[in-house]
Amino acid sequence: MVVLKFGGTAMRHHPYEVLARIWGCCKRKQPIVVVVSALAGVTDALIGGNVAEVRQILSAWKRENSLGRGFEEVAEILAFCDRCVLTPSKNLLVSMGEKISAVLLCELMAQCLPVRGAPVWADVGVVTLHAAECVANGMHVLRCRKRCLVPVVTGFCARDALSGTTRLLGRNGSDTTATLLAKELREDCVIFSDVAGIMTADPRICRVAQPINFLTFAEVRELAFHGASVLHGKSIEFAEKNVGRQLIVAHVADCAWRQNGTVVGPSSDLEKNAGIVATTLLRHRVGISVKAERGVPGFACSVFQKVCGSGVSVEMFSQTCSETSICLVVPASVQQLVKTALQDFTVAITEELAILTVVGEGMHNTPGVASRVCARLADCDINIRSISQGASETSLSVAVSESKALVALHAVHDILLMQ
């Protein structure tokens, strides 16, 4: 068996590619479970309480895909959404996007796939929340399999174990649903999106980005932390606990996804490489310089406590041995919050910055990675405002001027391509 997860862009713009991936497994007589996200744009519309926009998206989807049946049930869900807008049940309203996707996919399968049996969709009871812990009901899914061809599970949403109310798993929470379910069933998991696996850089801003064949869990975790749109944080944790099973990230239109997708696995499977495997960029940051009173103990502690008290997380910081100042790098959107929190100190705001990060678990065995990154940026006349490296040496981050962020990304990405 394999768990297949289809994202919102795939469901909205590539539904017949979704069917092709499902039918490919059926032809191989491989049992599957499908997890779906809401159609792209639907969740945002529901969060804003804009049911009319959801209707527009679904009307266009119906015209483009010539679906004759299934919209009676969708109409009932939308009528329920109209009522939910007037109640405090925000989570229940937002979860309807996944239910609509599940209904539409079931109807498409029943209408288009030449197989016996009827697909069914399983409700949010597949995943429950016990305090902060997610638990998947694998037996419920297996019972569904006995009655139908393909169980279709709603991602992103769960049921509170105590109150029975609907809870949400956060942005990209369908990845969490899929990997948690795969862990419970002890099966492989495939995350399908509109990108050819996990790339060496964001393909939207780096046209020469290449798909990566293999990444370790540590590398994917670093990429996610530093802003790459890869996997939901919890999904990495669940996949890592699913020992002996594969997690694959692939393009929904790729019929050879088993060969071309990105496999995410343990560090023990890591082959020797030249160090850097991917780059990522966090834009629109600022540096906040805080002047210190030399010789006053606890200065840095006091600064961080005040910033933490304002609800802001510091992404990078640097301090000289002379202890004359400390520089914090935070999102530009929260700079006023930080300035207010540090009003008892002498504070200066630097130019707008971007944080460029290179990731690779093999970097700690590769001398000169930092040297090559710094030299390449110097060749492009880019000044490094701050630099940091974690103790694991899995990532190296530099803060550069926002105005030169894209030049810096392409320059460092060239190092990766030339390895």
User: Are 167 and 135 within 8 A, CB to CB?
Assistant: no
pLDDT score of 206: 93
Give 10-residue mean pLDDT values along the chain (419 residues): 95 96 91 94 95 95 80 89 85 93 90 68 65 78 76 89 85 90 95 92 93 92 84 88 94 94 84 78 94 78 93 89 83 94 91 94 86 95 91 90 96 89
SS3 helix, strand, coil % of the chain, rounded to 5?
Answer: 45, 25, 30
pLDDT score of 73: 86
pLDDT score of 410: 96
For the sheet containing 325-331, what is the strand order? Answer: 316-319, 325-331, 278-291, 346-359, 395-401, 386-389
HSE-CB at 414 with a 13 A cutoff on CA atoms is: 13
Q: Which amino acid is located at 378 in the chain?
A: A
Between the CA atoms of 160, 166, 171 and 173, what dihedral angle is there, to the nearest 10 degrees?
60
Query: What does the block give as tokens for 337?
Result: 């919050």
> Where exactly are the structural domains of the chain?
2-269, 278-418
- The CATH H-level superfamily of 2-269 is Acetylglutamate kinase-like (3.40.1160.10)
pTM value > 0.95:
no
Radius of gyration of the chain (CA): 24
Could you tell me whether strands 188-193 and 2-6 are parallel, antiparallel, or unpaired per DSSP bridges? parallel
pLDDT score of 272: 56
pLDDT score of 186: 95
Phi, psi of 232 (to 5 degrees): -65, 140
Residues with Cβ within 8 Å of residue 24, at least 6 apart in sequence: 255
- The CATH H-level superfamily of 278-418 is VC0802-like (3.30.2130.10)
